[in-house]
Structure 1
Amino acid sequence: MFAQGGTEDDSKREIAAFFAHVTHETNHFCYIEEVEKSLSYCDTSNLQYPCVPGRKYYGRGPLQISWNYNYGPAGEYIGIDGLYNPEFVSEDVIDSFMTALWLWMKNVHSVVNQGFGATIRAINSVECDGGNTAAVNDRVTIYNDYCNQFGVSLGDNLTC
């Protein structure tokens, strides 16, 4: 379960990490959709969740969910055809955050105990290993702010 398990400080760090990534991905809650929308983010090799012609699976929502192989199962989780209607992630605030929590639990929750750096790698691995140091630093700064607000230490392994 989200922010359950471990100590109270572990739970606070997971909440801080979640909101740090949401804050970064949405540019401090300014954007619910990716600014650059020209790419379709369609993985044609994924036969389980095939792309619908004319639909684009660019980043949307608090964690900027992308790709057909994420929209399909996220929609199933919520009870919506996410492949046919990827806009659902940005049209309804409840669906939007449910999708973000689905993505978090699927890809990030299991590495939270490895430190904030591991969550960066799980959310956007291309930023790691020098791929985008400025973005990593921004995430860490925001995480630090949330941890301070929650009165909890940052923990280990802050970068990736």
Structure 2
Amino acid sequence: MDIGFDGLRNPEKVAQDAMVSFKTALWFWMKNVHQVMQQGFGATIRAINGDECNGNRSDVVNNRVRYYKDYCNQFGVNPGNNLSC
């Protein structure tokens, strides 16, 4: 109920209502990702896609890191340390 609807009883509302979808994404980011951003991109991978970090999906993690570094390069920003989980 943090964002004003009961997602357990009405999960399809996330797909049906753009505002609920946006609020859900923002809620997830603030509850799970925001606090680990200073730990590096690898920590955000772990927070969002933790199952990829168990070693079974190193190809997927490597692709995420490659894309991230490419985007950082395009924007002229340093990708930082701790890029992989």
TM-score tier, shorter chain, comes to: 0.7 to 0.9
Structure 1 stretches of at least 4 aligned residues deviating more than 3 Å after TM superposition: none
For the residue of structure 2 that corresponds to 1:84, the secondary structure is coil
Aligned counterpart in structure 1 of residue 53 of structure 2, from 128, 144, 148 = 128
What is the aligned partner in structure 1 of residue 76 from structure 2? 151
For the residue of structure 2 that corresponds to 1:146, the secondary structure is helix
CA, structure 1 residues 96+131, in 2 after alignment: closer, same or farther (shift >3 Å)? Answer: same
**1:102 and 2:12 correspond:** no
Structure with greater helix percent: 2
For the residue of structure 2 that corresponds to 1:78, the secondary structure is coil
Identity %: 64
For the residue of structure 2 that corresponds to 1:101, the secondary structure is helix
Separation in 2 of the partners of 1:96 and 1:143?
Answer: 24
Separation in 2 of the partners of 1:147 and 1:127?
Answer: 22
Separation in 1 of the partners of 2:17 and 2:69?
Answer: 29
